[in-house]
Amino acid sequence: MKKYLLILLCLATFGLTACSQVTNDQQTTEVSKEVNEMEDKVVKTEEEWKEELTDEEFRVLRLKGTEMAFTGEFEKHKEDGIYVCGGCGNKLFTSETKYDSHCGWPSFFEPVSENSIVETEDNTLGKRRIEITCAKCGGHLGHVFNDGPQPTGLRYCINSISLDFDKEEKAKEEAKEKKE
């Protein structure tokens, strides 16, 4: 009986040590990812943002404002390309994921990558919403709702003034894909 208990104790100790090693390796990997992501972050003072952005861009991107519906430059925009953050140029959405939701703002059903945006609960205006910000500079983009088309069922409702458009970047990506 003592022999079995000793074996069981050794196995349990070995198992915990192995689990601990995996956890430590995972933590090291996660920390490395966070450090790399932090190196890519755009960090500026509010004064620096005020110097670089127009008053309206600052109001929306930095103060979490909203532009008036049906007035934005990209609401009816149809060119092929990539929509980037108006504050830092981070790639956010492609023209393939843009659709007309008839809500008054540019709408997309999927970001370029899950690392390009940050989703945060927003309880302002007396209702629960999910705010979308740029993962690189923290600029306010808009909100995401679960009433969009398939395949995601999501509607990323974005302020035009929070975006810039790069059709050359899209052409570069298509040329790269053809070479591969």
Cα angle 69-139-41, degrees, rounded to a multiple of 5: 155
Q: Identify the burial level of 134 via C-beta atoms within 10 angstroms of its C-beta, where 0-12 means exposed, 13-18 middle and 19 or more buried.
A: buried
* 157 tagged catalytic: yes
Exactly one of 85, 88, 137, 157 is catalytic; name it: 157
**Partners of residue 122 on adjacent β-strands:** 129
H/E segment holding residue 140: strand 140-145
- The gap between the terminal CA atoms of the chain, to the nearest Å, is 64
**Residue 151: is the preceding peptide bond cis (ω within 30°)?**
yes
Question: From the CB of residue 150, how many other CB atoms can be counted at a distance below 10 Å?
Answer: 7
Task: Kindly list the catalytic residues.
Answer: 157
